[in-house]
Structure 1
């Protein structure tokens, strides 16, 4: 209604489920905070109902259609509480002049540590040992060590470089692919760059930390899996779309891929369990950035980014003209 506070939508599941003190800064700045269904990723219908009434959006990883953005005539800024924007229709957003900000680096430690944990789970068969003991058995699987192994890292942004730092500190050698080849400051006897095929040809463990290709195809399909070493371990804490699911299932069935450890799925939670339920798959429920520390850093930065962007766009309440009601005629 006229004179009401401008609205800001909050949709990340970690924030709608339990809130966060940083969100209070939005209210203190004069915004009305609107949340999607608590603890659940909003679908297109819910977004289409909520987003058009808002000037700002603190967004999660939920898929956003062009139709939602086109209907959002008041929207001025989107602030992600992570680093990826592949869930957003960036071409339509650019046409509308909407600002997009990301919480760069805020969740790097949490996701990198999960990737490392999944490597240990694969190499030491931790889920199988745990399940076997709870079923009354005493399974003993001979595992492997990270020390001395060649770890392939695809993508050396904030998360990939943290993974590289962790595994080299444990005595592994890293072969990385990143088109920009940033200098990570790691010793050359422990770290080197190669093309994607070079990484897949040599690595005993491959971990993905990159966005999907722009053309929408999977980065790891049948041809890429064919290049990998027999018994490779593949870790995915980035995006489900990086993997061609039928090709991965076939590789798991024949043992070409010894284990696929993933934190991400095309549908979350997955209703089809052909991949998630495969005996060679280690599955976690998109918890890479779901740590106390990562949520704290990412939320604080996302709120700051949103307030700055709304202020610059003239959509901050403090930037609105202070219109006083006309005095009554005498």
Structure 2
């Protein structure tokens, strides 16, 4: 009998619940695939019970801290089925010789399309109208047409560029801020790079596609510089937004709608902001499409096979 090459822990909820043909590639290469928590995000205690016996980890968005990593002497690689790495203690992983890899671009189209859908929802109060109709209320909120409006994109990498092209295609102008400028995007009619403060003050809608910093990007000061009635979409990270400041901006009318697909923990604890009727929530479905899951799973598996050799 061929010797097992080691155990691989798989925790992304879509994979652990439904499985995926791409995981068979690991089995075919002699690995034992473990999915002990179907459809659920593991906590630190659960990871400590299983991960130390594994050589590879196909990880979701659960926090992966130094305590867990230090307990895993056999672990060679953490492969994320997405682009974000901020849930992993990268410094500890590097110190312990654990490779951390992602699948950049695999879910970009899915996230960009969701961001566009949420922008339309915010401009036309779709979720707001649905909620009130189901409560027996004929409550209409006047919307805005997107043609001729300006969309601000903060973080214009793979996802932001895809969103920009779609937005321009339906008649919007796009202002974008990014540390790195793409030469091809600069040539696109209707698109222009500018400074962050100009994106904030010059946009009718703003979509976030950047990593978080040490403090929220959209705090009270930033929100105060925006056009009154702005629609804000967040498919990046919850930490980009100051909840108290956003709540105040919604109450004052400075922000018409805040739509989010991301949270500090999943499922989230519903605070005053998330319960607000002008907030639209989706359960982290940006990359949860047939196509995105397929691309990300295959890429994550290939990353494991390449890392272990």
Normalized against structure 2, the TM-score is what? 0.96
The secondary structure found in structure 2 opposite 1:166 is: helix
Q: CA deviation at 1:228?
A: 1.1
**Alpha-carbon distance in 2 for matches of 1:87, 1:21:** 26
Q: Give the corresponding residue for 1:237.
A: 235
**Alpha-carbon distance in 2 for matches of 1:243, 1:45:** 29
**Alpha-carbon distance in 2 for matches of 1:130, 1:206:** 23
**Alpha-carbon distance in 1 for matches of 2:133, 2:41:** 35
**Alpha-carbon distance in 2 for matches of 1:200, 1:41:** 35
Q: Give the corresponding residue for 1:65.
A: 65
Establish whether residue 257 from structure 1 lines up as the match of residue 249 from structure 2: no
Q: CA deviation at 1:50?
A: 1.7
Please tell me whether the aligned partners of residues 186 and 193 of structure 2 are also in contact (alpha carbons under 8 angstroms).
no
Structure 2, unmatched stretches of 5+, are none
Please tell me whether the aligned partners of residues 161 and 185 of structure 2 are also in contact (alpha carbons under 8 angstroms).
no
**Alpha-carbon distance in 1 for matches of 2:302, 2:265:** 30
Q: CA deviation at 1:4?
A: 5.1
Q: Give the corresponding residue for 2:292.
A: 294
**Alpha-carbon distance in 2 for matches of 1:227, 1:71:** 47
How large is the RMSD of aligned CA atoms in angstroms? 1.4
Q: Give the corresponding residue for 1:157.
A: 157
Q: CA deviation at 1:131?
A: 2.0
How many residues were matched structurally? 307
**Alpha-carbon distance in 2 for matches of 1:168, 1:187:** 13
Q: Give the corresponding residue for 1:130.
A: 130
**Alpha-carbon distance in 1 for matches of 2:271, 2:185:** 41
Q: CA deviation at 1:285?
A: 0.6
Please tell me whether the aligned partners of residues 153 and 175 of structure 1 are also in contact (alpha carbons under 8 angstroms).
yes
Q: CA deviation at 1:135?
A: 2.5
Q: Give the corresponding residue for 1:55.
A: 55
**Alpha-carbon distance in 2 for matches of 1:36, 1:278:** 36
Q: CA deviation at 1:15?
A: 0.5
Q: Give the corresponding residue for 1:320.
A: none
Please tell me whether the aligned partners of residues 152 and 204 of structure 1 are also in contact (alpha carbons under 8 angstroms).
yes
Please tell me whether the aligned partners of residues 146 and 170 of structure 1 are also in contact (alpha carbons under 8 angstroms).
yes
**Alpha-carbon distance in 2 for matches of 1:274, 1:132:** 19
**Alpha-carbon distance in 2 for matches of 1:118, 1:199:** 19
Please tell me whether the aligned partners of residues 107 and 298 of structure 1 are also in contact (alpha carbons under 8 angstroms).
yes
Computing the radius of gyration from Cα coordinates, the structure with the larger value is 1
Q: CA deviation at 1:130?
A: 1.4
**Alpha-carbon distance in 1 for matches of 2:252, 2:137:** 26
Q: CA deviation at 1:188?
A: 4.8
**Alpha-carbon distance in 1 for matches of 2:243, 2:259:** 13
Normalized against structure 1, the TM-score is what? 0.90
Q: Give the corresponding residue for 1:6.
A: 6
**Alpha-carbon distance in 2 for matches of 1:224, 1:260:** 15
Taking a change above 3 Å as real, the CA distance of residues 257 and 8 of structure 1, as seen in their structure-2 partners, is same
The secondary structure found in structure 1 opposite 2:183 is: coil
**Alpha-carbon distance in 1 for matches of 2:262, 2:268:** 10
Q: How does 1:314-329 map to 2 (within 5 A)?
A: none
With 285-294 and 179-188 compared, the bigger mean Cα shift is at 179-188
Please tell me whether the aligned partners of residues 66 and 92 of structure 2 are also in contact (alpha carbons under 8 angstroms).
yes
Q: CA deviation at 1:189?
A: 4.1
**Alpha-carbon distance in 2 for matches of 1:181, 1:50:** 43
**Alpha-carbon distance in 2 for matches of 1:48, 1:182:** 42
Q: CA deviation at 1:5?
A: 4.2
Q: Give the corresponding residue for 2:32.
A: 32
